[in-house]
Amino acid sequence: MREKKEKKIVFIDMDGVLVDFKGQMELFYTRDPSLKNGYPDKPDEIPDIFKDPQPVEGAVEAVKKLHRSENFELFIATTTPWDNPDASSHKRLWIETHFGDLFRKKMFITHRKDLLRGDYLIDDRLANGASEFKGELLSFGWAYEKGEKGEWNQYRTWDDILKKLLPGMTL
């Protein structure tokens, strides 16, 4: 009898990792420039900002590839602003639109990612407990937290993530 291989647990953040939140902000500011003044430090509190943003380039395909590999148990780990309660339902609907049932009942909305137990967390920020995650943090995309200039995190693209998690596989 063949031994069943234990799958690695991967948590995936949404904003800046799956979702192009920066692009969505720019779209909202272009449509209504007054939003820059109304929400200068908290664009995530703009009503409906999480309703239908575009995915990060390559994100949807890469996550589906991770799923098809059967090496991982995949979960969403996202934070929503306390003062924008619609964000939670908009994010869940976004996941369903782009992934169907792949993440059905596999979504954590938390401000404490350090309490999650798993092997990997793919996140673009260190906030909300990501920096204290007990597994391996795969820092993704643009590190805008590092000030106006920012810098790239270790894993710039989803291809970089796939190379890490699926070494030797054809991308």
Active site residues: 13, 15
The pair of structure tokens assigned to 119 is: 């092997």
> Which distant-in-sequence residues (6+ apart) come within 8 Å of 108 by Cβ?
11, 75, 76, 77, 78, 116
Place of tokens 């692009």: 23
39's tokens: 């929400």
Q: How far is CA 6 from CA 9, 64, 103, 121, in A?
A: 9, 19, 19, 17
Please tell me the total number of residues recorded for the chain in this structure: 171
- Residue at token pair 């500011």: 29
Q: Contact, 98 vs 61, CB < 8 A?
A: no
Residue with tokens 């391996």: 136
